Structure 1
Amino acid sequence: MRIKIINPNTTQAMTDGIYRAALSAASPDTEIVAVSPRCGPVSIESWHDEVFAAAGVVEEVHRGEELEGGFDAYITACYGDPGLNPAREVTDKPVVGIAEASMHLATFVGYKFSVVTILPRWKMVMEEVIGRYGLKERCASVRCTPMEVLEFERDPEKGARELYDMSLRAIREDEAEAICLGCAGMVDFAADLQEKLGVPVFDGVTAAVVVAEALVRLNKKTSKNLYYNYPNIKEYTNCPEIISPK
């Protein structure tokens, strides 16, 4: 099995961390390829960032299908799941978002989950994503740290403190029974947090890997019956050749 994980931002160190986390969850016979788009934001912390990141995600799925020998599944590794729906339109392989995977898995082990994430302005994005997946009734809260995405790599000790404090507040004040870490840059914190908090803590990358593997093993592909059908054939002006629908 081959899975391509797309980090929608262009920070290679973060892509490397995502790759390591994915390998820790993948089965021995699964090949993991982790990439970033050729252009786009170094981190994703706003709607503006998401627009350009989403285009890079879709281009990388095109590349996987046409230039890299094909994959059995794709993962988009940003917690806003940018580009997830258009990516599903350009392949019949499963495309899994890390937010979608981890939130749904959290509902299997707790009635209410909380998302602990980055800057307060990101809360609106998270609330929209939660609503998109029909999980408003199962989400206890969205708790935001004061930290930017790349700060978690630069200052992991501060990151660990902030995640613990916000997670503890979600459990005590919001009655959360599980925690979803709302950024792919938080992959290294999940195990320690789970031990300290005593509740399930989900990192989106590892959650998405096991979901993608399960879909492939169950021989489930993206439905082309209606909404995720391939894009209509047309010319795309001044775009890479692989992007134009055929």
Structure 2
Amino acid sequence: MASRRRIVVLNPNTNASTTAAMVALARQACGANFEVDGRTAPFGSSFIIDQQELETSATAVSEMAAQIAAERPRETGLIVAAFGDPGLEDARRSFAGPVVGIGEAGLLAGAFGGRPFSIVTSTAGLGSRIEKMADNLGLADQLRSVRQTPSHPSQLIGKPERLFAELLLAARQAVSLDGAQTIVIGGGPLARFAKDIELELGVPAIDPVSAAVKKLIYQWSDGQAMQPCPRM
């Protein structure tokens, strides 16, 4: 009997509970035909909020990808589960299977069909990084804004209700003030709020972890490395 294809969610931060939450989202997105597990960065920060921490996490991603390549690289795909996609290109160069970043996948899903979109996030220190990613993907003309929560991420740890309220406020402003027709949640740990934001605002809200899973499966299905997958 052939083994199931395997998806490994690489959490570039050191928070194991965040890894578990993102693995759960990935399993919901892909169904029972795939094996999904996660790896947590062995060093770095528990929450990536600036460029320096992003660079440290890139090294962790490269090390985790190398470890997985030594285990069972065939029929395995990797998801880099931090919105800045740390270490994504290095992992792609060293890993035989497909590698998808949640930032890239989220941006492509948000822009699908030519829609104007905005990013909402709690990590103000990565705003310029996100804008550069959009530009590199040819999506700068569709990106309406990158809006952050009013509070610093450190003030939101362990306060999910306050975090949701601030993300919702940022998303509402992106729609009403910036003209966004789609909201992309800018962070793996924040992805769980996408459905509730969509229900509140009545516009599509992209969970970037699920978008990455769909993109990975899409690549497996027809070999297209950089094409966006339709929103499901």
TM-score scaled to structure 2, two decimals? Answer: 0.89
- Per the alignment, residue 219 of structure 2 pairs with 215
- Per the alignment, residue 138 of structure 2 pairs with 134
**Structure of higher CA gyration radius:** 1
Q: Alpha-carbon deviation of 1:99? A: 1.1
**Which residue of 169, 173, 177 maps to 1:169?**
173
Structure 1: runs of 5+ lacking an equivalent: 223-246
C-alpha distance after superposition, 1:13-46 (max 9, x if no partner): 1111111111111121111111112212211111
Distance 2:58 2:179 in 1: 33
| Cα distance change of structure 1 residues 126 and 219 upon mapping to structure 2, 3 Å threshold | closer
Three-state SS of the structure 1 residue aligned to 2:166 is helix
- Mapping of residues 1-246 of structure 1, within 5 Å: 1-68=5-72, 70-109=74-113, 111-149=115-153, 154-219=158-223
Amino acid across the alignment from 2:78 = Y
Q: Alpha-carbon deviation of 1:92? A: 2.8
- Per the alignment, residue 230 of structure 2 pairs with none
Q: Alpha-carbon deviation of 1:68? A: 4.4
Q: Alpha-carbon deviation of 1:121? A: 2.4
Contact kept in structure 2, 1:40 and 1:52, CA below 8 Å: yes
Contact kept in structure 2, 1:5 and 1:74, CA below 8 Å: yes
Three-state SS of the structure 2 residue aligned to 1:154 is coil
- Per the alignment, residue 236 of structure 1 pairs with none
C-alpha distance after superposition, 1:71-94 (max 9, x if no partner): 521110000011111111102311
- RMSD over equivalenced CA pairs, Å: 1.8
Structure 2: runs of 5+ lacking an equivalent: 227-232
Distance 2:111 2:78 in 1: 23
User: Bigger shift: 144-153 or 61-70?
Assistant: 144-153
Distance 1:73 1:22 in 2: 12
Q: Alpha-carbon deviation of 1:214? A: 1.4
C-alpha distance after superposition, 1:201-245 (max 9, x if no partner): 0011011011111111224579xxxxxxxxxxxxxxxxxxxxxxx
Identity %: 30
User: Bigger shift: 131-140 or 60-69?
Assistant: 60-69
- Per the alignment, residue 225 of structure 1 pairs with none
Runs of 4+ in structure 1 off by over 6 angstroms are none
Distance 2:80 2:27 in 1: 15
Q: Alpha-carbon deviation of 1:120? A: 2.6
User: Bigger shift: 91-100 or 198-207?
Assistant: 91-100
TM-score scaled to structure 1, two decimals? Answer: 0.85
Three-state SS of the structure 1 residue aligned to 2:7 is strand
User: Bigger shift: 212-221 or 97-106?
Assistant: 212-221
Contact kept in structure 1, 2:107 and 2:184, CA below 8 Å: yes
Contact kept in structure 1, 2:6 and 2:75, CA below 8 Å: yes
C-alpha distance after superposition, 1:49-80 (max 9, x if no partner): 01110011111111111134545211100000
Distance 2:96 2:73 in 1: 14
Amino acid across the alignment from 1:29 = N
Aligned length: 222
Distance 1:218 1:147 in 2: 43
